[in-house]
């Protein structure tokens, strides 16, 4: 390797062992355990959606309220998400961040900040339960 101070030689040990452990866990969980964890992610995304809707400025227009959606990525990993559909409410970001003519109403951020500790706890508890049951 070059002797330049701009290059750093990094070695990561234990990758094979960690990969093997995750593969054993995946097999131990089985389809039912993985589906249970997937459902937990989706349920918590719905909880987050409701919190976001709680902080929407009043009165909530139909388009702004309908624009909050949840979904599930399945590949390469399973992950849930909450998003704003800008086809339904193209003004959603203007409400969240404000403009030079109107104040910001950060409903999305406030919803995440409020719900996040509870959601992490829910997911952590369910994950520990499913893993303990599979072990």
Per-residue model confidence as pLDDT tens digits over 31-42: 888 889 899 999
Q: pLDDT tens digits for 74-88? A: 776 778 999 999 999
Nearest to 42 by CA among 12, 78, 77, 11: 78
pLDDT at 133 over 80: yes
Whole-number pLDDT of residue 89: 92
pLDDT at 2 over 60: no
> For residue 122, what are the β-bridge partners?
none
What is the rounded CA–CA span in Å between residue 74 and residue 82?
15
Whole-number pLDDT of residue 131: 86
> For residue 81, what are the β-bridge partners?
71
User: Is the overall model pTM greater than 0.85, yes or no?
Assistant: no
Whole-number pLDDT of residue 55: 93
More confident residue, 38 or 10: 38
Judge contact between 61 and 73, C-beta under 8 A: no
């Amino acid at each position: 390797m070059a002797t330049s101070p701009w290059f750093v030689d990094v070695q990561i040990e234990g990758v094979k062992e960690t990969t093997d452990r995750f593969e054993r866990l995946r097999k131990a969980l089985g389809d039912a355990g993985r589906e249970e964890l997937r459902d937990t992610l989706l349920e918590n995304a719905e909880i987050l959606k409701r919190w976001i809707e709680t902080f929407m400025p009043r009165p909530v227009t139909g388009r702004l309220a309908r624009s909050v959606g949840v979904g599930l990525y399945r590949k390469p990993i399973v992950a849930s998400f909450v998003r704003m559909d800008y086809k339904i409410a193209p003004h959603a970001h203007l409400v969240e961040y404000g403009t030079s003519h109107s104040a910001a109403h950060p409903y999305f951020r406030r919803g995440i900040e409020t719900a996040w500790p509870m959601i992490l706890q829910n997911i952590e508890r369910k994950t520990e339960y499913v893993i303990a049951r599979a072990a």
